Amino acid sequence: MWREYLWPLLAGTVISVGLAGAARAYGVVGLLLGFAILSPFAVVVFWGLSEELAIKRSSAIRRGLETALGALVLLGLCEFFPRYGLVIAAVPALTSPPALRLLARLRRRQLRRSAAADLWDPDVLDRRFHEIVSQLGQPGDLREP
């Protein structure tokens, strides 16, 4: 439900409020000029990074345009809400479906590492040490090569 209905509504609301703030601050012509100037720059940056980040060329163009739009939305949010504009923009970014998938993957990885972290527990470490030593036998039982 979050991914299909609520998050797109939240993200769309934040984007529209940010664009309204940018239009209020710079005017509609300034907003369009800002997008026209930022878009080629962002597309060129993503085009250059596409080889390094294994991004398809068509995806680089789309991401460049999205980045230019995102910059204008941030400007508008900071214009409407000077103290909390970045926080408002961070909420949909951090609760987006890709961010939540990344968080779930990090949690699974952390659970796998917790088994190895048990060896740092002094009680577990002492118990494992005594198990290993008990398997060695008595001091005189060592065989010489």
> CA-to-CA distance for 24 and 50, rounded, in angstroms?
34
Q: What is the mean pLDDT of each run of 10 residues along the chain (145 residues)?
A: 86 94 93 94 90 85 92 94 93 88 83 63 78 72 54
**3 state DSSP class of 114:** helix
DSSP character at residue 82 = T
DSSP character at residue 121 = S
pLDDT of residue 19: 94
pLDDT of residue 119: 61
> CA-to-CA distance for 84 and 72, rounded, in angstroms?
16
Task: Tell if the pTM clears 0.85, that is, is over it.
Answer: no
* Beta-carbon contacts of residue 30 (< 8 Å; ≥ 6 apart): none
pLDDT of residue 135: 77
Tokens matching residue 123: 């009680």
